[in-house]
A = this chain, B = another copy of it.
Amino acid sequence: MNASLIMIGTELTRGIIQDKNGPMISRELTHLGVHVSQFEILPDDGTIGSVLAAEIARSGLVVITGGLGPTTDDMTRNVIAAASGHKLIRDEDSWNALVSKLGDRAYGPNSRQAMIPEGFTIIPNGNGTAPGFYGYAGSCLIVCLPGPPRELEPMLYDSVLPLIRKKLDLPDAERDEYSTFITAEAKLEELYEGIDPELDWGTRFQDYRISLYVSGKTRNERDAAISKLRSMLGEGRVVDGDTDPLTMLIDSLKRHGATVSAAESCTGGLASALLTERPGSSSFMVGAVTSYAASAKENVLGVPALLIEEHGTVSYECAEAMAEGVRRIMGSDYSFSITGVAGPDEDEGKPVGTVYIGFAGKDRESESIVLRFTSWGRASVRRRAAAAAFILLSMYIEGKSPEKIVSSWGYL
């Protein structure tokens, strides 16, 4: 089942305001299993007349938003009537509703709002004067809705989606949702192909996670494919549901009633900024030190100068000493540290993407691990280093060993 969306509004094509209806409607239609084959944003000037017939011919469903207002350049109704081969008639219920809402103002331009193509059905609008309507052009279902999101949104959820599911006789699609971290989207897509190209893999890339949707075939086959992906990426890299590394860490901290602090070098405060981004972070966050210069590592965190001289600042030893130092001065239950080479140039003879992460905790042995990220630029190395630190610290808090976990990781 193919669907086309048409959004009408000159303020949209001029870039004055941004269309929010298209993404919302297409997300919901995709959810119902309808393939949205395109959406078009058109000016108010009747351009729809030149595209509607083609859309009706190739789609089983056309959803049109906007162009239903009282102004003369709103030609949507006429175009739909013409394309569906019906006359435009006055819907008496809508007309009466309009009169009772607007009084005398219902006459004149506003009266157009009660006109619909003959044989079409009104979709009531609880938050505005222009109702929507739906009907058929041949075998194509046409749904027409007002543009303002606060009018459209309740109509969509309350009337239109149930209507579409019923009219198009759609089954409830089964879909599993996961989140993956640190690996590049392009690499993931390559991996899916190797695992099971017949499944329907969907991804949504965000800064700190990729949301992964798997549908098609049987539940067993989907589970087997995800198990394979899990074993390729390693422990903690593919998790159920839609989540992200920061949420995982915060959940661990809250579950244990624990506090945290951070010592950052190459990430320069990014992990700290993320840890304090959400309201309520003062319940677990004590503080952080960005020890960017070696002198700051020595003077503030108490990393021994001799240790730096012997091992360098990008080392297991320095990462551990940073984590222990920040935990000591902040007095937190747990701490982590990040020191590495974010680029663009290598440092201390270590290539861009080399990142050491240290962990310390009350009544726990300190640990440190190294990750060797493929470099896709400074911002990406910093982002992935922070994500990895969050994942690994949350597992360290759960009593696991970051070293063991990292030994299972692939595709960094």
Interface residues of A (CB under 8 A from B): 10-20, 22-30, 35-43, 47, 51, 69-72, 105, 108-110, 127, 186, 189-190, 193, 202-205, 211, 261-262, 264, 267-279, 281-282, 285-293, 295-296, 299-300, 329-331, 343-345, 374, 377-379
On whether A16 and B268 interact (CB within 8 A), knowing A71-B189, A286-B292, A292-B281, the answer reads no
With the chains together, A270 CA to B275 CA distance in Å? 10
Q: Are B282 and A275 in contact (CB under 8 A)?
A: no
Q: Are B291 and A287 in contact (CB under 8 A)?
A: yes
Output the least CB separation between A386 and chain B (Å). Answer: 9
Assembly of this chain: how many copies?
2
Q: Are B39 and A27 in contact (CB under 8 A)?
A: no
Q: Are B290 and A288 in contact (CB under 8 A)?
A: yes
Taking a contact as CB atoms closer than 8 A, the residue among B36, B186, B267, B282 that contacts A43 in the complex is: B36
Q: Are A26 and B14 in contact (CB under 8 A)?
A: yes
Q: Are A287 and B289 in contact (CB under 8 A)?
A: yes
Q: Are B15 and A26 in contact (CB under 8 A)?
A: yes
Q: Are B277 and A286 in contact (CB under 8 A)?
A: no
**Which residues of the partner chain B approach A51 to less than 8 Å between Cβ atoms?**
38
With the chains together, A225 CA to B202 CA distance in Å? 50
**Which residues of the partner chain B approach A293 to less than 8 Å between Cβ atoms?**
282, 285-287, 330
**Which residues of the partner chain B approach A20 to less than 8 Å between Cβ atoms?**
18
Taking a contact as CB atoms closer than 8 A, the residue among B12, B271, B276 that contacts A292 in the complex is: B276
Q: Are A268 and B295 in contact (CB under 8 A)?
A: no
On whether A13 and B40 interact (CB within 8 A), knowing A272-B268, A279-B343, A329-B300, the answer reads no
Specify the chain B residue showing the minimal Cβ separation from A326: B300
Q: Are B269 and A288 in contact (CB under 8 A)?
A: yes
Taking a contact as CB atoms closer than 8 A, the residue among B14, B47, B261, B269 that contacts A272 in the complex is: B269
Output the least CB separation between A66 and chain B (Å). Answer: 13
With the chains together, A202 CA to B14 CA distance in Å? 10
Output the least CB separation between A211 and chain B (Å). Answer: 8
On whether A299 and B186 interact (CB within 8 A), knowing A15-B28, A18-B20, A18-B23, the answer reads no
Specify the chain B residue showing the minimal Cβ separation from A375: B101
What are 14 of the A-B contact pairs (CB < 8 Å)? A10-B202, A13-B30, A16-B30, A38-B51, A41-B41, A267-B276, A268-B276, A269-B274, A276-B292, A282-B292, A285-B292, A286-B292, A286-B296, A288-B289
Q: Are A42 and B47 in contact (CB under 8 A)?
A: no
With the chains together, A329 CA to B105 CA distance in Å? 44
Q: Are B15 and A25 in contact (CB under 8 A)?
A: yes
Q: Are A39 and B41 in contact (CB under 8 A)?
A: yes
Specify the chain B residue showing the minimal Cβ separation from A40: B40
Q: Are B295 and A331 in contact (CB under 8 A)?
A: yes
With the chains together, A329 CA to B15 CA distance in Å? 47
